[in-house]
């Protein structure tokens, strides 16, 4: 194992698990977290959950699963370069989307609207709920009993009101502390991954073109470099050679600028990282401006593309109608889920019923949500 920096998360400065367990030798605690995440039901379902394109639209587009793997690869590379805990970065990266709804952000927006009377819905908080409560595999505890540091990295943002309900994991939001460097790094690895693979998938789907992407300065710069170096490229090679250079530029910049910030701040411990007034893992101001331009371009030209909007509008209707049906009559749920709803409603009232229905819908894959909607609303299907 490589030597970890003084400010990295190590076994001797971690806060452990909510339920104490024997050591996992020869695995580290964070390797054990990673393994539990990979073997979870929620992780397997990511294969059939939308990133931008609905899962059945094509076999080559990214899903939440392939996205999570790409985030983990980027995070591990940077963690090693910065002397951080690779295993922790990997665990956070693999778990960060476990609570995502079917149909990507469109599904989340629809479910959030449905849950407004009961505190709303946010996939980041739902990811923590999945690993803390909803995974049901172990005799001694609910959830996966992950370490504090992995759970902290999963919860990237949180309102003060919600933080007060989360115990130790919500403290940093109330005290305005920073998370570990590993959590900060996984967050930005997520940003690197989704911006670049969304450009790739957008071109692959015919919704974006390479000339159109040249409106993004970072893309135009590297596209010029590729075209000057190579002749007679296929469109796929042209796209890939450009995007791989963008990813490399972002990774190199994040490593260099974070290293400079760490050297300037000089944190000598994990506690010093937490007490620092702002994140120490960051892009340079120049690259921040370039990634902002990329983000704005994708929002205007891909995420709001008429074709994407039409599909996601239908997807939102599916989520809303499923929620309304299950709230009105929980007996439409599978027997085990109906029993869970009954118990939650007895303990918490209507909010318990709503939260359990949201859990059930959030756990659906794209195709399962479509099948459930057809089963409930297509009169030709009586079973």
Q: Is the pLDDT of residue 41 over 80?
A: yes
What's 382's DSSP letter?
A: -
Candidates 312, 331, 328, 285; CA nearest to 369 is 312
Candidates 161, 202, 173, 166; CA nearest to 51 is 202
Mean per-residue pLDDT for 103-112?
A: 92
The two tokens of residue 154 are: 């999963």
Q: Is the pLDDT of residue 136 over 70?
A: yes
Q: What is the mean pLDDT of the chain?
A: 93
Candidates 192, 150, 151, 197; CA nearest to 170 is 151
For residues 110 and 322, what is the distance between their CA atoms, to the nearest angstrom?
11
Q: For position 27, what pLDDT does the model report? A: 94
Q: For position 309, what pLDDT does the model report? A: 87
Cβ burial of 106 (10 Å; 0-12, 13-18, 19+) is buried
Mean per-residue pLDDT for 183-188?
A: 97
Q: Please, where in the chain does CATH 1.10.3210.10 lie? A: 29-307
Q: Is the pLDDT of residue 56 over 60?
A: no
Q: CA neighbours within 13 Å on the CB side: how many for 364?
A: 29
Report pLDDT digits (tens) over 262-313.
999 999 999 999 999 999 999 999 999 999 999 999 999 998 898 888 888 9
Q: Is the pLDDT of residue 316 over 50?
A: yes
Instruction: Confirm if 222 and 245 have CB atoms less than 8 A apart.
Output: yes
Instruction: Confirm if 365 and 45 have CB atoms less than 8 A apart.
Output: yes
Candidates 9, 30, 22; CA nearest to 146 is 30
Mean per-residue pLDDT for 171-183?
A: 94
pLDDT above 70 covers a percentage of the chain that reads 96
- When pLDDT is cut at 50, 70 and 90, the band that residue 68 belongs to is very high
Q: What DSSP assignment string belongs to 252-318? A: HHHHHHHHHHHHHH---SHHHHHHSSS-SS---HHHHHHHHHHHHHHIIIIIT-HHHHHHHHHHHHH
Q: For position 2, what pLDDT does the model report? A: 67
Question: How many CB atoms within 10 Å of residue 28?
Answer: 20
Q: Is the pTM of this model over 0.75?
A: yes
Q: For position 365, what pLDDT does the model report? A: 95
Whether the bond between 26 and the residue before it is cis, its omega within 30 degrees of 0, is yes
For residues 135 and 91, what is the distance between their CA atoms, to the nearest angstrom?
16
17: β partners: 147
For residues 177 and 168, what is the distance between their CA atoms, to the nearest angstrom?
12
Which CATH code of 1.10.3210.10, 3.40.470.10, 1.10.3470.10, 3.40.50.300 fits the domain covering 29-307? 1.10.3210.10
Q: For position 55, what pLDDT does the model report? A: 47
Q: Is the pLDDT of residue 153 over 80?
A: yes
For residues 230 and 199, what is the distance between their CA atoms, to the nearest angstrom?
21
Q: CA neighbours within 13 Å on the CB side: how many for 300?
A: 10
pLDDT above 90 covers a percentage of the chain that reads 81
For residues 216 and 39, what is the distance between their CA atoms, to the nearest angstrom?
39
The two tokens of residue 131 are: 């690993």
Looking only at Cα atoms, what is the longest distance across the chain? Answer: 69
Q: For position 116, what pLDDT does the model report? A: 96
Candidates 182, 191, 175; CA nearest to 147 is 182
- When pLDDT is cut at 50, 70 and 90, the band that residue 58 belongs to is very low
Q: For position 1, what pLDDT does the model report? A: 52
Say which range, 52-61, 196-205, 218-227, 293-302, has the weakest mean pLDDT. Answer: 52-61
Report pLDDT digits (tens) over 329-347.
999 999 999 999 999 999 9
């Amino acid at each position: 194992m490589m030597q970890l920096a003084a400010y990295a998360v190590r076994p001797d400065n971690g806060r452990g698990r909510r339920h104490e367990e024997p050591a996992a030798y020869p695995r580290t605690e964070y390797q054990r977290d990673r393994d539990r995440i990979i073997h979870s039901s929620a992780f397997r379902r990511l294969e059939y959950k939308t990133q931008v394109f609905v899962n059945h639209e094509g076999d080559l587009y990214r899903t939440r699963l392939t996205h999570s793997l790409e985030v983990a690869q980027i995070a591990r590379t940077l963690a090693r370069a910065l002397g951080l805990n690779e295993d922790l970065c990997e665990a956070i990266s693999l778990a960060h989307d476990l609570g995502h709804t079917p149909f990507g952000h469109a599904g989340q927006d629809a479910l959030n609207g449905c849950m407004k009377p009961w505190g709303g819905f946010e996939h980041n908080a739902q990811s923590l709920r999945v690993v803390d409560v909803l995974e049901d595999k172990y005799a001694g505890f609910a959830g996966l009993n992950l370490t504090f540091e992995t759970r902290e990295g999963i919860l990237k943002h949180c309102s003060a009101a919600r933080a007060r309900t989360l115990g130790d994991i919500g403290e940093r939001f109330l005290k305005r502390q920073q998370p570990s460097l590993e959590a900060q790094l996984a967050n930005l690895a997520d940003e690197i991954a989704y911006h670049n693979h969304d450009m790739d998938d957008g071109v692959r789907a015919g919704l974006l073109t390479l000339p159109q992407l040249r409106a993004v300065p970072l893309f135009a710069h590297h596209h010029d470099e590729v075209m000057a170096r190579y002749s007679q490229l296929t469109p796929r090679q042209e796209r890939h050679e450009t995007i791989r250079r963008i990813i490399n530029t972002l990774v190199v910049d994040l490593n260099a600028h974070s290293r400079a910030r760490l050297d300037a701040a000089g944190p000598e411990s994990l506690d010093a990282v937490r007490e620092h007034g702002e994140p120490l893992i960051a892009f340079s101001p120049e690259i921040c401006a370039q990634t902002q331009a990329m983000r704005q371009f994708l929002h205007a030209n891909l995420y709001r593309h008429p074709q994407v909007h039409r599909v996601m509008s239908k997807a939102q209707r599916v989520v809303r109608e499923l929620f309304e049906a299950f709230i009105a009559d929980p007996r439409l749920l599978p027997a085990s889920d109906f029993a869970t709803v009954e118990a939650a409603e007895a303990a918490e009232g209507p909010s318990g019923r709503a939260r359990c229905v949201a859990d059930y819908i959030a756990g659906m894959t794209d195709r399962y949500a479509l099948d459930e909607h057809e089963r409930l609303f297509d009169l030709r299907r009586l079973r």
